[in-house]
Amino acid sequence: MIELPVNIIAGCIVFAFIIFGLCILFMSNKNKQIAQYEFALAKLKRSFNELDEQAKLIVKTDLELNKAQEISDKRLNGLEALQKISRLISTTLDENEIFHRLDQAFLTDLDFERTLIFEFDNARQLHERISLGFSQEAIKFIMTNLENDFNLMGALREGHTYSSANCPDQRRESIVRIFDTGHFIISPILTQNGIIGIVFVGNLSNVSPVTEGDEELISILASQIGQSLENARLFEEVYRSSQALESKVQERTKQLQEALKEVQEISRTKSDFISAVSHELRTPLTSIKGYAAILMDGKLGEIPEKVRQRLGKINTHSDNLVGLINNLLDISRIESGRVEMNFGKCELLKVVDNVHDLLTPQMRDKSITFKNEVDSKIPTMQLDHSQIERVFINLVGNAIKFTPERGTISVKATMENNLVTCAVTDTGIGIPEEDIKRLFDEFYRVDNEINQNVKGTGLGLPLAKKIVEAHDGRMWVTSIVRQGTTFHFTLPVKTEEQIAQEKESREKGISHD
């Protein structure tokens, strides 16, 4: 055995320890690196997990945004469709045309797989007006079961709208059973008179469930359908009423025209009769007055005083009868349009002064005070001077008859807006209200004590009224019993040109006739 030197052995041992130490140092460094790697790996894993969570959140948010966008787009499309439908159905007042336009709009724009619109008839029975996605057998089944579901119909009559997204379970089951549609909206069509129809829309698949926005949309649509139908029905009712009224008016107009023809014929016959009789009476009256005048003048010899008095009465009565005949003829001529007013310059203030001078003796006999209150600012008018003077003579003369002694008669005239209003007022006995409406009838005389003692024909007032109307004015009377009476009448202020134009128009009208 070879023995190695101690120093070699020691060197080997030292070398071995060095190698071992290096190995330990190497392993220690490796463990540190491994620990660092594990820490970094754990950190990386946490970061990855965080990124994964964020990615999932982003995906979820994106899905929710997409869903919200879909809902928003669907609601926007629904609102656009609602606006279009509303515009279509609000521009017609024909009920059938409303459903025709509604049918087209529903099938084109509303994104529902199934649609049904029912309408109640006058007997309160349901009738299908619009359908999509339902067979006729299904529609009959729906109508039968819907009418028999009193709870559901009662709720609809109260204005409730139901959808599969917001509906009590029992009510949902009932609607699903009747319509065989899982996702639905059902809404009543209401008017002021109650329910007149039902709108139903729905989808079969779970991919397109209805939302609260859809429910609100259909509810608004049903309300607008109800308003349009109510407008159409009201228009139809008004149209029928107007047609019936027009028919009645035409019938009544025809009757009035026939009656007017009869009245005109009677009036013409009366005028012709009056004219003929008047002319027949004038001839003998002229002879009577002539012979009476000859006798009174003594041309046939002297006559006794008593005979002269009788002849005077004959002459007076003849004059009265001639006046009556003249009044009758004037009324007849004015009514028939055969009397043309001779328009010319006329001052009302002077006319009233002339009438006062003419009737002063009669007023003096009864101590009656006369007041001329015609506004001096009234301009010269275009009137028939003699006829207007005749009106004032008749009215003032009439007032003298019925005004007691020491009474007052006033004539007033004012102008406003080219219209002169005249009033002849007395402090006489007045006229009862029941007699006023007949006061302008020919030959009518109020039944009172004064009339029984005062002679008259009952033609003065009708003649005065017709003369005023021939001047395009009107006459009326107000009176209080035992206080007095006022006769009012109006006269329009016209120029010579206006008078000429009106005359020309009348002549053209006569020539056309």
Q: Which residue has the higher pLDDT, 190 or 35?
A: 190
Determine the length of the chain: 513
| pLDDT at residue 367 in the model | 93
Cα angle 152, 158, 163 (rounded to 5 degrees) comes to 55
Residue with tokens 């009174």: 296
Q: Which residue has the higher pLDDT, 316 or 485?
A: 485
Of the ranges 126-135, 258-267, 285-294, 406-415, the best mean pLDDT one: 406-415
Residue with tokens 């779970």: 206
Instruction: Please provide residue 443's backbone torsions phi and psi, each rounded to the nearest 5 degrees.
Output: 70, 5
The rounded distance, in Å, linking the Cα atoms of 261 and 510 is 17
Please state, rounded to an integer, the average pLDDT across all residues of the chain.
Answer: 79
The rounded distance, in Å, linking the Cα atoms of 476 and 439 is 10
Burial per residue of 178-193, b for 16 or more beta-carbon CB atoms within 10 angstroms, e otherwise? bbebbbbbbbbbbbee
pLDDT at 512 over 50: no
Nearest alpha-carbon partner for 232 in 128, 90, 104 = 90
Residue 488's Cβ-count burial label (10 Å; 0-12, 13-18, 19+) is middle
| pLDDT at residue 12 in the model | 74
Q: What pTM value is reported for the model?
A: 0.46
Nearest alpha-carbon partner for 479 in 427, 440, 438, 442 = 427
| pLDDT at residue 448 in the model | 56
Backbone CA torsion sign across 213, 214, 217, 222 = negative
pLDDT (average), residues 234-249: 86
pLDDT (average), residues 270-292: 67
The rounded distance, in Å, linking the Cα atoms of 352 and 420 is 14
Q: How confident is the model at residue 419 (pLDDT cuts 50, 70, 90)?
A: very high
Q: Is the distance from CB of 432 to CB of 321 less than 8 angstroms?
A: no
Residue with tokens 């009556």: 324
pLDDT at 482 over 60: yes
**List of residues 6+ apart from 176 with CB closer than 8 A:** 164, 182, 184
| pLDDT at residue 513 in the model | 47
| pLDDT at residue 167 in the model | 82
* 424-438 residue pLDDT tens: 999 988 888 888 888
| pLDDT at residue 383 in the model | 93
Q: How confident is the model at residue 351 (pLDDT cuts 50, 70, 90)?
A: very high
Q: Is the distance from CB of 420 to CB of 380 less than 8 angstroms?
A: no
| pLDDT at residue 378 in the model | 92
Question: Which residues are paired to 486 by β-bridges?
Answer: 425, 478
Share of the chain above pLDDT 70, in %: 76
Residue with tokens 């009737």: 359
pLDDT (average), residues 27-36: 72
Q: Are strands 381-383 and 369-374 parallel, antiparallel or unpaired?
A: unpaired
Q: Is the distance from CB of 214 to CB of 223 less than 8 angstroms?
A: no
Measured from the Cβ of residue 422, the count of other Cβ atoms closer than 10 Å reads 24
The rounded distance, in Å, linking the Cα atoms of 21 and 39 is 27
Specify the range with the lowest mean pLDDT, choosing from 163-167, 312-316, 317-321, 387-391. 317-321
pLDDT (average), residues 187-191: 88
pLDDT at 485 over 60: yes
Specify the range with the lowest mean pLDDT, choosing from 96-100, 287-291, 443-447. 443-447
Write down all domains in the chain, each with its CATH number in brackets. Answer: 85-241 (3.30.450.40), 344-512 (3.30.565.10)
Residue with tokens 């009465």: 313
Can you list the pairs that 331-336 forms with residues at least 24 positions away whose Cβ atoms lie under 8 Å?
331/442, 331/459, 331/462, 331/463, 331/466, 332/270, 332/271, 332/274, 332/275, 333/271, 334/463, 334/466, 334/467, 334/470, 335/267, 335/271, 335/466, 336/267, 336/268, 336/271
